Structure 1
Amino acid sequence: MADEGGRLAVRAAPGASADAILLPEAGGPLRVRVTAPPEDGRANEAILVLLARALGQPRSSLELLRGASARDKLIAISRG
């Protein structure tokens, strides 16, 4: 989940049948499913939008730090 620096570890599943945020398994990363395909950054953007909505933050307060082309991602959350 989020650490002291406002970072969130996420395990992505693009191309899912529905958008969803799932609870992590025993200390693992948050799991996020999005319907967007993993092409041209569309899944990454969908993940950021979904997380921002769930956190009640503007999309601009989230930034993808690592994992643009991987399932495991690190997202920074700043105060919006």
Structure 2
Amino acid sequence: MQKGAWAELAVSGAEFSCKVTPRARRSTITRDGSMIKISVTAPPEDGKATAAVAEALAHALGVAKTRLTLLRGAISREKVFRLD
């Protein structure tokens, strides 16, 4: 995906609900209504998959990954991020 493809969604204070698939064959990110589906190749160990999801979401939004804050789902497949 091109960096900043979803830049119109990058509004300060916006929350993003994500459904994550770790250890995928390849990394992908798609939107299905208000849910964002993200597949990452990273394993779900020691927060590696969560970090990869934050990086992929930040890339799609065209913002720095430090602007994303994980609100819920540190060890779950369903995560909620907020853009600061």
Q: In the alignment, which residue of structure 2 is the partner of 1:10? A: 18
Q: In the alignment, which residue of structure 2 is the partner of 1:32? A: 38
Of 50, 54, 59, the residue aligned with 1:48 is 54
Gaps of 5+ in 1: none
Runs of 4+ off more than 2 Å: none
The higher relative CO (CA closer than 8 Å, separation ≥ 6) is in 2
Distance in 2 (alpha carbons) for counterparts of 1:76 and 1:63:
5
TM-score, normalised to structure 2, is 0.81
Q: In the alignment, which residue of structure 2 is the partner of 1:75? A: 81
Indicate the percent of aligned positions where both proteins have the same amino acid: 39
Root mean square deviation of aligned Cα: 2.1
Gaps of 5+ in 2: 1-8
Distance in 2 (alpha carbons) for counterparts of 1:58 and 1:73:
18
Q: Across the two proteins, how many residue pairs are aligned to each other?
A: 76
Distance in 1 (alpha carbons) for counterparts of 2:41 and 2:68:
19
